[in-house]
Each structure stands twice: as C-alpha cells, then as structure tokens.
Structure 1
Amino acid sequence: MGVTRLEINLNALKHNYAYLRSKLAKDVKMMGVVKAFGYGSDACEVALFLEELGIDYFAVAYAHEGEALRKAGIQIPILVLHPQPDNFKVVIENCLEPSLYSARVFREFSAFAKAHKQKHYPVHLKFNTGLNRLGFWENDTDWILERLKETDAIKITSIFSHLAASEDLEEKTFTQHQIASFTKTANTLLQALDDTPFLHQSNTSAIINYPEAQFDMVRTGIGLYGYGNTPKEDQNLRPVACLKSVISQIHMIEPNETVGYNRAYTATHYEKTATIPIGHADGISRAYGNGKGYVTIQGEKAPIIGNVCMDMLMVNITGIDCKEGDDVTIFGEEVSAVDVSARIHSISYELLTAVSQRIKRVVLR
C-alpha cells in the first residue's frame, strides 16, 4: 500500500473469538476487553465486529473509552474498570457500568446516582484477592451490605476480581488461593443480597489454565487479539494486528561511515541500508535500536541499525533483494509481537498498545 499502517484482520478476530468460546461451559458469558484502543488496534471496529459475533459484554479502562463505543453504535453493556469521580456524568449519560472498588468510589457514585435520580443503576463490585492494585478487601463485605441498605440508587450487577499470575503454572498455588478467596467473598455477598449478581474472575490465561474458575462470565483481552501467553496457545490463536511500513530510501554505505543520530552505527564494510518511515513517536522504542530489533523484508530479517529516530528507523538490508517502495513488516502473523517485544525484555501487550494513533488503521474483513 506504500504507507505505514496497522492492518486489523477481522477474520483473525473471529477465529480467536471462536477458539476462546470453545473453552467455555455452555452458559458462561464472555466479556471482551477493548481498552487502550482495542489493545492498540481500533476499539470501535473490534467491538462492532464482536457484537455481531454475539459477545455478551465489553470492558474498558476509562469512561471516555466507553463513550467512544457508544458513539460508534455499541448497544451491549460496557463495564468501566477504573472509573474516576470526575467522569461519573459521562458514565451515566452513556449508560456505562462502573466498577466500585473502594469506599470512596462507592460513596461518591452512590451519591451521584441518587442526585441524578437514578434507581437500581447497574454497578460492579471489584475485590482484591492478591493483585493489590484495585479492589475492596474480603472484610469490607459488611460495610458494603450496610451501605446498600441505605440506597436504592444502585444495584449490584456483578462481583469480580482479577488474577495476578494465571499464565504462570509455577504460581498455581497462589492462583488457586485467589480463586478460593474470591469464591468465599462472593458467596458471603450472594447469601445476603436479594438479587443474584453474576461472578467473574478469569482472564485469557485463566480461561485456558483454570476452567474451574469460569463462574458466570470470563474476561478476555489479549487472547482476542491473538496471544495466549504461552508458545503453545499462541499457535491456537491468530494475531489480529499487523504493523507494516515501506522502504522510503536505500543507501549504499562505505566502510567506517556512520548511520543515524550520534553516529551510533559504523559500517564495517560496504553495506546497503534502508530507511523506514516509522519511529519512536509511532511506538517503536529506541530500545530496539543498535541491533536489538529487526524488521522483515521479503521474508528476511533486517536488523535495526543506529538509534531509532522519532519518525524513522534504519535497517541493514545487505544481501536482501529489495527495492524502494517494498513492504516492511514490524510485527504480525509472520513476526510475532511476542518475539519482537522479547528482544527488549518487554511483552506483547506493551508493543501492541504503544502503536501511535497517527498510524493509519486498515480494517481487513
């Protein structure tokens, strides 16, 4: 196509959705996590397609992400995982469902809902079972039940928690402790509530490794986008996003000539280099420079040389049969984001979500 672009393959998304669904018991619902622009892809396009496929719920991190989904036409429920009091108006105006994770947020949202004449507004209770990031503690249940008696402005739709290391089977004991802790806390609340909120704790890796913890719903993020957190599971999934660019210019470099800022690379012999119009402003970290990272051209690896620039990077194409205008792949089906990110001791999540919004998104159906 001659431009830097992120190709979003909806056929791959459909495959991943079906694979993850196949792991679930018949009546278990699925929540698709589409925060961070759909893990760096296009949250609205991904969500609209998943809604067509029959997904039950969506989750976003912040209220404005949910607002964008509503403006795109999403109809199904949307959980806001980390709502802020300043955005409660956005939550209610867009029929978003907030996670209440602390006494402060519980009090403030209850008061806000009451002030805006809401009745039985759907909210979700988040419990901390060991991740120690957000959530009520197990011994907060009495306080919550007392507060619920004081208001009819809100209604508990679900009770949930988050696993810390479900992908690491060496942490199986810790994960099982988290599951047991959540089960105990949830049962305490279920016995005291008139309604029956649904329960969810599993993320992508737990769907695969802990089928006993599916409860009423599972949440999947990275799995939908094609990564299963293990080499084995990666083989069962297909990357949805493929980051591509193009060769802008080719240079012939003589021995001892340098390339890029601070003369970080010095040619040892006659070499051929290519300049690619993508840089650290696009999400390709400077850490990939100086031979740490690579791109693929005509199916061959071309190491990144010198420092990654803001808008460009240079690669060594000596011995690769290519020309200006040829396509370049940074990551995708032929080059896993897992492998690329591992070269700088990072993870696929970071590489995927770092892709700049200035890069053109191309949706492939």
Structure 2
Amino acid sequence: MAKAEETVLEIDLNALGHNYNFLRSKIKPDTKFMAVVKAYAYGSESVAIANHLQGLGADYFAVAYVNEGIALREGGITAPILVLHPQKIHFATLIEHQLEPSIYSLSILSDFIATASTLNIHEYPVHLKFNTGLNRLGFSADELPDILNLIHQQKTIKVIAVLSHLAATEDHEEKEFTNLQLTRFSDICKQVDSLFEHSILKHVLNTSGIINYTHAQCDMVRSGIGLYGYGNEPYIDEQLQPVMTLKTIIAQKHIIRSGESVGYNRKYTSEKDTVTATLPLGHADGIGREYGHGKTYVSVHGQLAPIIGNVCMDMIMIDVTNIACEEGDEVIIFGKSLPASEFAETAQTISYELLTGLSQRIKRTIVH
C-alpha cells in the first residue's frame, strides 16, 4: 500500500474477498448471500465494494434507502437489490430501477400496491418484513390475514421473500431471546408457506447470526459489518481482515513548554516539555471530540501516540514526545494494526458508528 501524502481511506479489496469467503464458508453452498452495502458500504465506497462482491458471487445486495440502490444500478450492479427502508415518495423511482422493497406495514403495502398499479406493473417482487422482537420495523404475525386480504385482491405485486431482524446475536447472555425470535420467525414462515402456492425465500441471520446461529440460515443470510472486517467478538475479529485503513500525515510539529496549553478551551496543559504533532483531520471527518483528552491513540511508525486536548473540526493534536518522526510522516488512525473496533471502544462506541460516520470529504483509494 502507498504511503499517505494526505488524509486518505484505503479500501482493501483483497481483505474484502477474504471476509466474504470466510463468511461463505459458514453456510451451506446453496444458501444465498446478501451483502449489506448501505451507508456507502459502511463508510467505504459502495460501488467498488458491490462490484467486487458481485464478481465473487454475492447473490443479493441490501441498502437502506432508494438513492443508495440507484447508485449501485448506475455503477453496474445487476444482482437483486433489497431496499430495507423504502419511503412512499420514492416508490416509483424504486420500480424504475428494479429495486426490491422491504414492506413492513399495512400502509406501506397499500401505498406500494397503489403506485405499482398506476404504473401498470404485474407481479413486482417484494419482501415482507416481520417484527419478532427488535420492535423497530415490521408486521406483527397477527396481521397476516390483513396482509393476505390486500395481496389476494391484486396481481400487481408478488411476495418473493419474508425476513426479520435479530436484536442480539452477538450477545451470548441474550441467547434465550434470540432463540425466541428465531422461533417466532419460524412460526411466521410456516404460516406464510401454507398461505402461498409459490416458494417464498426466507432470511433472518446477520453477521453474528451467521457465526452463532448457523442452523437458522434459512434460504439466505445477510452480512454487513463482517464483510468489512469486524465480527462483534474478538475471536471472530481474529479471523477477519479490516477492509478500511484511515491514514493521514503529520502537518506540523511543536515543542510545548511546561505549563503551556494545546487547542481550543486549553483542555490540555503540558506538565513538562512535550512534542506534539498536528494532523489534518478532525470532527468534520468523523473523528469526534469524544476521542480527545488522551483517551484514544493513533499509530506513528508502529508506536502509539495519544490524541490530546479537544479534537478540532479539521485537526487533531497528538503527543509524539517519545516517537522519532518528522513533518510529512504517515500516521495510521485505524486499520489492520489498530482496529476500528478498538479505536471506537475508547469513546464507548462501536465500529459501525465510527466507520459509517467518516466524512465523504476524505479521499477514498481502492487497493488490491
């Protein structure tokens, strides 16, 4: 990988392939694999990620919103794309780009049927989402009669799949609740199978579900964070490879004398002569103020340097007193040697939030 000359997010497609193959190895050969590439592919670059995964054999893709699906279509993705949270205003555009909606309520179902009917669509594929305990989006099981009443009155849409979302597959203390969700989903699937004449695709497992509840893989699994190198558990992280490495450079060094302060609001005061380095990224890039005050470290020539004082909008300052370095030298914010999960933990958050919060002003570079 090239040495950084500016702030850059390197996206390693070889690592992506490794993670995809690892997760694929956990499921049956005929189980479909849905790659979740919402939120710019978890902060990376959705078109490059999706194209690589499509080449590796991913069966399906998932995004949160319609505009994300359109970007994939325009970027060359031909595989089916599920929109997890479609909005009524975008239904016609969704159909135009051959995206598949996750239908989660009777009102959304009615509105989608109405839009499809206006466009003279016949048997448009949809997924029905059921709430089994996450209590975020989804039909309840007792709404099945009303769902069927709406669906059997028309030929505009065709239910091709049912899904649900598990709440705590990575938490071993919540195994009983996860099994309860899986039982609820299984019961729903049995009812659906008895009510439809054609075969219905079922999918419920996420990344941690693939690892911890493989027996419930159904017809398809969905993976997001695992593809990008994080498995929510240390022993899984060891078998995955971080896809993203955030790099920057030292813009300037300073000698801070004892008693002098650094940064806004003078939140760091040196107790002895200290050498600091200023880096060209900050909370506008997704490295929030919560990472300051000596809690979080970056890597300079393989040595850890704490972030000191308040993180600024475009700059952070680090302590490099005991590290031999010069202006222009590369600094690793997180990556293979300093995982995003560990970086995020210092601010009591998770890799998902850190990665998806990376600003689009950071240059993305694809590497093999």
Q: Same fold (TM over 0.5)?
A: yes
Instruction: Tell me the residue number matched to 2:320.
Output: 317
The reply to whether residue 245 of structure 1 matches residue 248 of structure 2 is yes
Query: Are 2:186 and 1:211 aligned?
Result: no
- Asked if 1:356 is matched to 2:353, the reply is no
Is residue 129 of structure 1 aligned with residue 132 of structure 2? yes
Q: Secondary structure at the match of 1:309?
A: coil
Q: Deviations over 1:19-62 (max 9, x none)?
A: 00000012100000000000000011000000000100000000
Give the letter aligned to residue 191 of structure 1: S
Please tell me whether residue 34 in structure 1 is matched to residue 37 in structure 2. yes
1:3 maps to a residue whose letter is E
Cα distance in 1, alignment partners of residues 329 and 72 from structure 2: 36
SS at match of 1:223: helix
Give 1:148's match in structure 2, choosing from 151, 163, 172: 151
In the alignment, the residues of structure 1 paired with residue 92 and residue 72 of structure 2 have an alpha-carbon distance, to the nearest angstrom, of: 16
Tell me the distance in 2 between the aligned counterparts of 1:191 and 1:233.
38
1:310 Cα offset (Å)? 0.2
Given candidates 21, 26, 29, the residue that maps to 1:23 is: 26
Residue 262 of structure 2 is matched in structure 1 by 259
- C-alpha deviations, 1:82-111, integer Å up to 9, x for none? 000011122011100000000110000011
Residue 196 of structure 2 corresponds to which residue in structure 1?
193
- Pick aligned residue for 2:297 from 294, 297, 311: 294
**SS at 2:225's partner residue?**
coil
Which amino acid is the alignment partner of residue 30 of structure 2?
Answer: D
Spell out, residue by residue over 1:205-235, the C-alpha distance to the aligned partner (whole angstroms, 9 max, x if none): 0000001110000000000000011000000
TM norm structure 2: 0.99
Q: RMSD across aligned C-alpha pairs, in angstroms? A: 0.6
Separation in 2, partners of 1:276, 1:44:
29
Shift of 1:74: 0.4
2:308 paired residue number = 305
Work out the CA distance in 1 between the residues paired with 2:292 and 2:231.
27
Equivalent-residue separation in structure 2 for 1:75 and 1:196 (angstroms)? 23
Asked if the contact 2:32–2:221 (Cα under 8 Å) also holds between the matched residues in 1, the reply is: yes
Shift of 1:276: 0.1
Give the structure 2 partner of residue 10 of structure 1: 13
Aligned equivalent of 2:349: 346
The corresponding residue for 2:110 is 107
CA distance in 2, matches of 1:212, 1:14: 24
For the residue of structure 2 that corresponds to 1:195, the secondary structure is coil
- Paired residue for 2:77? 74
Counterpart AA for 1:310: M
Equivalent of 1:52 in 42, 51, 55 = 55
Distance in 2 between the 1:337 and 1:284 partners?
11
Distance 1:346 1:127 in 2: 28
Instruction: List runs of 5+ in structure 2 lacking aligned partners.
Output: none
Letter of the structure 2 residue corresponding to residue 104 of structure 1: S
Provide the TM-score with structure 1 as the length reference.
0.99
What percent identity do the matched residue pairs reach?
53
Question: Quick one: distance in 1 between partners of 2:244 and 2:29?
Answer: 29
> 3-state SS of the aligned residue for 2:228?
coil
Aligned amino acid, residue 108 of structure 1: D
- Are residue 117 (structure 1) and residue 120 (structure 2) matched? yes
1:280 aligns with 2:286: no
Q: Give how far 1:190 is off.
A: 1.0
Pick from 219, 224, 232 the counterpart of residue 229 of structure 1.
232
Could you give the per-residue CA deviations for residues 140-168 of structure 1, whole angstroms, max 9, x where no partner exists?
11111111111100001110000000001
- Measure the CA separation in 2 of the matches of 1:172 and 1:269: 51
Structure 1 portions without partners, runs of 5+: none
Q: In the alignment, is the contact (CA less than 8 A) between 2:92 and 2:116 conserved in 1?
A: no
